[in-house]
A and B are shown apart, each in its own frame.
Chain A
Amino acid sequence: MSLDKATVLRVARLARLKVRQDRLEPLAAELNNILGWVEQLNEVDTDDVPPMTSVVSMKLRWRDDDVTDGGAVDDVLANAPEGENGFFAVPKVVE
């Protein structure tokens, strides 16, 4: 698998990263190096091997249906650049 400049640009956009035009080529080369390294894993035959979901043998833990959290508007909004009347305020994004 090999990435071209257009793909790097698209991936950057999906991740909301701004990449300068002259950085696209070097970035593609770097990402291709990483992909090439990871692709070595394809040499191992993993047919009939279930995906590993955890390095320790444990099951998903379940929680009871109790309300134990909330009521902390100020804490929730503490890092918001802007807020008003208990809302987060962000630049208008209406369709």
Chain B
Amino acid sequence: MSMIQGATGDWEVVIGLEVHAQVSSKAKLFSGASTEFGAEPNTQVSFIDAAMPGMLPVINGKCVEQAVRTGLGLNAKINLYSVFDRKNYFYPDLPQGYQISQYLQPVVGEGRVTVDLADGSAREVGITRLHLEQDAGKSLHDQHPSMTMVDLNRSGVALMEIVSEPDMRSSEEAGAYLAKLRSILRYLGTCDGNMQEGSMRADVNVSVRRPGEAFGTRCEIKNVNSIRFVKQAIEYEARRQVDVLEDGGTIDQETRLYDTDRGVTRAMRTKEEAHDYRYFPDPDLLPLELDPNWVEAIKQSLPELPDQKKARFEKDFGLSPYDADVLVAEKENAEFYEQVVATADPKLAANWVITELFGALNKAGRGIDDSPVSAEALAGLIVRITDNTISGRIAKEVFEIMFETGKPADAIIEEKGLKQVTDTGAIEAMVDEVIAANPDKVADVKAGKDKLIGWFVGQVMKASQGKANPQMVNDLLKAKLLG
């Protein structure tokens, strides 16, 4: 638990997150219009989404299934009976004048997520609920001097609002929770987790208190769209609240925005009666009733989730918790690794994927999906290390060429003549040469300076341009100098 040092002592920050995750579906929650990102304005709008009089919503079964699948992936209670309500407010990008949401009876109840922290410890974060709701349209304020432009393409797209308990105690924990949630949703295939396109946004509730005291008054930071910004916003907001309280002030419960350019949070202009949503059950929709057998069938079809995969990587492949964690965080990385270990040594494979491949991809600004070195190709390289065709050092050289050219390891080894020398005669000749050229050092070794052997190994390796088998060089030198 990390504390904030104030002038008058320590403060504890308390954080809860409301995450809006766009449901992966072809059509919207209550209409047959497409959810595809990036279309021309208002081309993916049905009369239902535009709230034309008399239009009636009909629920998309896939969206319900995705919400239930997510609930099961979050170890949460599935409510077989839930209700859609109208949340009433006025805004130009909300043509209905209300959002169809779920209020008192959400489709998913309490669950929990295990969050892994950088120091290797884990923390449980409680899930309060998950409910289905409609997204609003998009308002563009900078297109015209006196008008706001409204695009309803997003209007009616299905969102899952996932509400956490106020269980987090630092920006790091909140960031790790959001990362874990994103990872789980992507494994489940229920949300693409693309934060740049707004597929996941978080409302962050922050308060501070003296350790052991009751919760303080919270502020809600709206619509933060990256893990990094969530962490920055919490750091700033917690410090701001501590400063206000230590100056003898009080915290107003209010909605704030995070200004990413200036790195500060500021109060939104207070909308009068902003929180008077006058929820009531939507008379256009009957309650959502689920068949327990249907829920059970979804449960049986859940894929292996990050926690399970991590445990399996540790157990079956002997990986460290850290390496396993790095590999399972992104589904695509885990799949890539599993393809490599199909033919290559698991521990070597983990090192190569994490250090060399991720490093090179990062440097090149590429993702694992367009890696110039395929999983099979990387496995092909690792196999050449384990069968002693090349040393680990030469392998790094080969890898660089593979990354640049996309050629397989064997072709490069052949072409460049990098094959490790394992011919005893050839190595012996090089060893003899080095010994003959350094009589004074030979005398030192014989006089008891055993550590100089390492220097001799280095000289022979250099003479062989790195191609001699280091173990054989070592053995031969020992036999000749000490034997």
Contacts and interface: CB of A to CB of B under 8 A. Distances in A.
A26 interface: no
Given A13-B273, A88-B149, A62 B61 contact: yes
B148 interface: yes
Nearest to B271: A95
A39 to B, nearest CB: 17
A85 interface: yes
B287 interface: yes
B227 to A, nearest CB: 24
A95 B276 CA distance: 19
A28 to B, nearest CB: 18
A60 B286 contact: yes
B44 A70 contact: yes
Nearest to B46: A69
B273 A53 contact: no
Interface string A72-84: 1101110000101
A85 B281 CA distance: 37
Q: Is the interface of B mostly helix, strand, loop or mixed?
A: loop
B33 A87 contact: no
Contact of B148 (A64, A85, A89): A89
Contact of B286 (A53, A76, A84): A53
Size class of the A contact interface (CB-based, 8 Å): 35 or more
Interface stretch (B24-32, B236-244, B246-254, B394-402): B24-32
Contacts of B272: 13
Contacts of A61: 58-59
Contact of A66 (B27, B48, B143, B146): B27
B268 interface: yes
A63 B59 contact: yes
Contacts of A87: 41-42, 140, 143, 149-151
Contacts of A95: 257, 268-269
B60 A63 contact: yes
A interface SS class: loop
A73 B59 CA distance: 23
B92 A88 contact: yes
Nearest to A72: B45
Given A70-B34, A87-B143, A90-B147, A76 B50 contact: yes
Interface residues of B, number: 53
B269 A92 contact: no
A90 B150 contact: yes
Contact of A85 (B41, B48, B278): B41
B41 A67 contact: no
A65 interface: yes
A14 interface: yes
B278 A76 contact: no
Nearest to A54: B286
Contacts of A51: 281
B149 A84 contact: yes
Interface in A28-81: 51, 53-54, 58-73, 75-77
Given A88-B150, A90-B148, A94-B148, A68 B27 contact: yes
B215 interface: no
Contacts of B48: 69
A86 B41 contact: yes
B32 A69 contact: yes
Nearest to B48: A69
Contacts of B91: 93
B63 A65 contact: yes
A9 to B, nearest CB: 11
B62 interface: yes
Cβ-closest 8 pairs across A and B: A68-B32, A65-B62, A62-B61, A69-B46, A87-B149, A69-B32, A94-B141, A60-B286
Interface of A: 10, 13-14, 16, 51, 53-54, 58-73, 75-77, 82, 84-95
Interface of B: 25-27, 31-34, 40-48, 50, 58-64, 88, 90-92, 139-141, 143-144, 146-152, 257, 268-269, 272-273, 276, 278, 281, 285-289
